[in-house]
Amino acid sequence: MNGNRHPTTNDWTLTWIRRTRIGGAWRDLVDASLGEASELYDVEIYSSSAYTTLKRTFSSLASATTPYTSTQQVTDFGSNQATLYVKIYQLSATVGRGYPLTTAITR
């Protein structure tokens, strides 16, 4: 998981590397097969490292990146955020959301 914040707009760009659940072998310079019919993610933004107060959800994202704009941050928190508390779920037709990647990013 990575995140970059634009220095003038304060927009965040969140990115991550997808994982596979089925038949994934790590090979140099080759992505592991997805093991799913489609690639979908949910991203949740929380208010603190306690991960108890959900502020925003980005649902059914079809790529491993999402913007979190300054406008959205101000709506959610009242100001732009230097630290984000994030959970990312890969969606599966078989197991649903699965286990999240949970992280904090500070910029």
Q: What is the residue extent of each domain of the chain?
A: 2-18+31-106
| Per-residue pLDDT tens digits for 18-38 | 766 555 555 665 555 555 557
List the pLDDT tens digit at each of the 107 positions of the chain: 899 999 999 999 999 987 665 555 556 655 555 555 577 899 999 999 999 999 999 998 888 999 999 999 999 999 999 999 999 998 887 778 888 999 999 99
- What pTM was estimated for this model as a whole? 0.84
CA distance 3 to 72: 16
Contacts with 47 (C-beta within 8 Å, 6 or more apart), sequence order? 53, 54, 55, 77, 85
| Domain 2-18+31-106 class in CATH | mainly beta
